[in-house]
Amino acid sequence: MYFIANWKMYGDIKSLNTLNRVIKFSKSKEINKGRLIYCPPYTLINSFLKKFKNCLIDIGAQNCHENETYGPHTGFINARMLKNIGANYVIIGHSENREKGESNRLINLKIKNAIKAKLKVIFCIGETLKEKRQKKTRQILSKQIKLGLDKIKNKSNIFIAYEPVWAIGTGMIPKTEDLLKTIKFIKSKFKSKSPKILYGGSVNPNNIKNLKKINIIDGFLVGGASQNSKKFIDIVKKTYS
């Protein structure tokens, strides 16, 4: 199971101290088969890499520019640059970026270049509350998958993170039976082998007991709760207990 921490725009050098607990946990038997990946802000990637030098915790970024090569794009970083500093993963298509106008076409370009740069991609999809109420969830997910993964044959380095927009940071999660159906639906979109499917949206140590019942989920993308090491560790522990 994969446990991916999305720190969003939080964290400074002092935050590194909070990772000691996670490092210790990652070396214990309690981690079981859990694989931890941290996606801090760009400013902390290098510090996290140093901090995790002697343990198996991997590092990702939260976004990248769509261009494969260097260019005049003030304030941006491309996938190759991320790989070059030691990141192995990148989150692409997060709803907080889609909301600001990131299109499916742009997401598709980013994914293609991230794969070229040999990064593993955490590709986020999910419906808004309005779309859910209009019973458009499947239609929206199909479109996001079709356009986001257009002309990408080899999907072995892609993880799909199903993150209903209405569940992010709200404390709400889908009903178990609805989530099971949606994950099955996402898997059914792939003829041969489906990419690994993660769930994200308000995962915490209390609701993980319900979420883990859906045994076709390959892991969790955790935002808010991942900034608290104890909570993040509890999520992993409770997944296996």
Active-site annotation, residues? 94, 163
Work out whether strand 2-6 and strand 219-222 pair parallel, antiparallel, or are unpaired.
parallel
Shortest CB 39 distance to ligand PEP, Å: 9
- Does position 125 bind ligand PEP by CB under 6 A? no
**Interface pattern 175-214 for ligand PEP (x via CB under 6 A):** -------------------------xxxx-----------
> Which residues 136-165 are close enough to bind ligand PEP by CB under 6 A?
163
C-beta of 223: minimal distance to ligand PEP in Å?
2
Query: Which of residues 2, 3, 6, 59 is near ligand PEP by CB under 6 A?
Result: 6
Report if residue 174 touches ligand PEP, rule: CB under 6 A.
no
Q: Is 169 an interacting residue with respect to ligand PEP (CB under 6 A)?
A: yes
Out of 41, 86, 205, 224, name the contact with ligand PEP by CB under 6 A.
224
Instruction: Name the residue number minimizing CB distance to ligand PEP.
Output: 223
Q: Between 80 and 82, whose beta carbon lies closer to ligand PEP?
A: 82
Give the whole-angstrom CA distance, residue 241 versus residue 56.
Answer: 21
Taking the complex as a whole, the smallest distance from the CB of residue 65 to ligand PEP amounts, in Å, to 20
CA distances from 51 to 44, 47, 59, 106, 227 (A): 10, 6, 11, 33, 16
The span from the CA of 19 to the CA of 94, in Å, is: 24
What residues line the site for ligand PEP (CB under 6 A)?
Answer: 6, 163, 168-169, 200-203, 221-225
